[in-house]
Structure 1
């Protein structure tokens, strides 16, 4: 168990929450507060850290599992909670127009039909790539000889990305970040490499100030626009941060528990921030207070939902784990999400 990565998961989720709280502050007040936007955009890179961590964890935990057990563990960890949290967002989307493409993107986490379509839950665009990676890992567990085939499909899709949404999604450069995580999983431990953590963090922050931070929104992220730029500017520093963090010998603590709750925080943080936005629109407060209150409220709300809702749901679903029937217990990390 690499407990330091659990802490990093919380940091990555907090980065995403922070940038959304900062965007809310700008929406209400027109100001970024004390910290300039060039600094705040680094929050988007929390997603890239998550992708690299996912690669590490799956590479560490999948070997030894049957493909059925692996697929079920990934499904139960990601999908039930995601679908339940998506319900209110889907209801709102239905009232404004929720077609079959939206249903496919939301229910199956497959955004690529005849046009690119995002899931109803705003944060779920990243889960589309997580599930794609898990599907690839499941196929490799079925037959390792299929790994070159998958790499070939990814390469061809990347070459022919202009052909439409499907190759844009399958050939999205962001998938490289999962590969970076897989490579790190097999890298030998090197205590001195802890320096990679601050160097990677500085490189991420510097991207905004030198104008190298990739732009775009959800649809651009799904389509892979500026994807290679993002891998270079955020993906490589994320890999450095993850590798440096892996050299730290941490122990279970409140921070690792917050890391375990990071998936809930990532999924649900837009809800309290949106509700607070309505309050702040009527009763404006300084931008820095909006950022602090929005971030803190999101963490507290997600924490209570994690304790009261996510943990009982996990316990219920764990009873049906196929590996429990054989008594198998894999070693390694907990889920990255």
Structure 2
């Protein structure tokens, strides 16, 4: 949900400048990680929809951690992208995120069940605090509420460093009010926002030229995966309701978010020639993230014939993939092309969609 900067020359007093090719591969590694994050969420949701005993026994609960990866990645990407002005930054973010979200919401809306006024208002405004923390009609859209909140805060920080101090005080005050039951505090002070800030810290280190060797990066990645795989409470920690109302979001930020930030840090420093197919999935990751939810909404009302039910997981994955790449090529790419064309003047930096 952002832009990845390629071939950025960095100067470090401690380390020599790496080659442009190496820089490109390292940033492309974030693109690959975005593809992994989107795929994790898709597999989780498809496994819920597929009605086989094998899938019911193991629902790939770690797939929900793809959201935590996205949040940490957003913090990194927003920190390292070039910024010309606060208004330009926010405009580009909104154009990048909102139109495709609204399109997918409109496609899913006619098939959604139990839609309330609060769901509708959340869907249209991405403000989730309506008497209680409320999910939008497009289920995965709850993450965009926090994403846009982060963008607004980043825009204010770009305008003035003093604003960052005000925002920090506001955030801590809202966090302190969470036990009172104030719904707005559950949103504005939600500990899940710490995952974005972890990404900001990683991006700041990167911009200042701090690097680690690929072997150390690989160790960090393996350690992060171990922390995820050895955690017996992943399903509880990644509950959407528990996260939105801040009931378990602090522990999620610690037990799921910290390993997610470690993965982002590790991938950022992996000097590897990634397969073009993996990069392509990363390019389409935002479309994958939204479109699979839109197509699974009507599919949830269908019952596959008995002869096809053993293959339900593969069928839903295939349909999700077809819809996702169709949306990417027909809708998201034209938006990205327009943004990229407008962004060429004066930047001198190659951009890739994230």
TM-score computed with the length of structure 1 as normaliser:
0.86
Change (3 A) 1:31 1:334: same
Does residue 83 (structure 1) correspond to residue 102 (structure 2)? The answer is: yes
Once the two structures are superposed, residues 149-169 of structure 1 have per-residue CA deviations (whole angstroms, 9 ceiling, x without a partner) of 101111111111133110000
Report SS of the residue matched to 2:236: coil
Aligned to 1:311: 333
**1:6 and 2:31 equivalent?**
yes
Partner of 1:262: 285
User: Aligned equivalents of 1:7 and 1:304: distance in 2?
Assistant: 19
Contact kept in structure 2, 1:52 and 1:177, CA below 8 Å = yes
Secondary structure (helix, strand or coil) at the match of 1:329 reads coil
Match of 1:185 among 194, 203, 212: 203
User: Does 1:73 find its partner at 2:92?
Assistant: yes
Contact map agreement 1:60 1:333 (CA 8 A) in 2: no
- Find the partner of 2:223 among 193, 199, 213: 199
CA contact 1:7–1:255 (8 Å) conserved in 2: yes
How many correspondences in the alignment? 321
Distance apart, 1:299 and its partner CA: 2.0
2:184 to 139, 142, 166: 166
CA drift of 1:330 comes to 6.7
Q: Larger relative CO (CA 8 A, sep 6+): 1 or 2?
A: 1
Taking structure 1 as reference, are residues 274 and 87 closer, same or farther at Cα in structure 2, changes over 3 Å only?
closer
TM-superposed CA distance for 1:281, in Å, is 4.1
In structure 2, relative to structure 1, the CA distance for the partners of 1:107 and 1:153 (3 Å cut) is same
Counterparts of 1:137-286 in structure 2, within 5 Å, are 137-163=154-180, 164-187=182-205, 188-191=210-213, 192-207=216-231, 210-211=232-233, 213-215=235-237, 217-250=239-272, 253-283=276-306, 285=308
Once residues 47 and 167 of structure 2 are traced to their aligned partners in structure 1, the CA distance between those partners, rounded to angstroms, is 39
Retained in 1: the 8 A contact 2:107–2:294? no
CA RMSD of aligned residues (A): 2.4
Tell me, yes or no, if the aligned pair for 1:4 and 1:248 is still in contact at 8 Å: yes
Matched, 1:294 2:286: no
Contact 1:77 1:335 in 2 (8 A): no
Aligned to 2:41: 16
CA shift digits 1:2-55 (9 cap, x unpaired):
000000000000000011111112xx234426x734xx1111100000100000
Q: Report the Cα distance in structure 1 between the residues aligned to 2:149 and 2:328, rounded to whole angstroms.
A: 25
CA shift at 1:112, angstroms? 1.1
- The alpha-carbon deviation at position 256 of structure 1 amounts to 1.4
How many Å separate the matches in 1 of 2:304 and 2:237?
A: 26
> Normalised by the size of structure 2, how large is the TM-score?
0.83
* 1:42 aligns with one of 62, 65, 72: 62
- Counterpart CA distance in 1 for 2:304 and 2:314 is 16
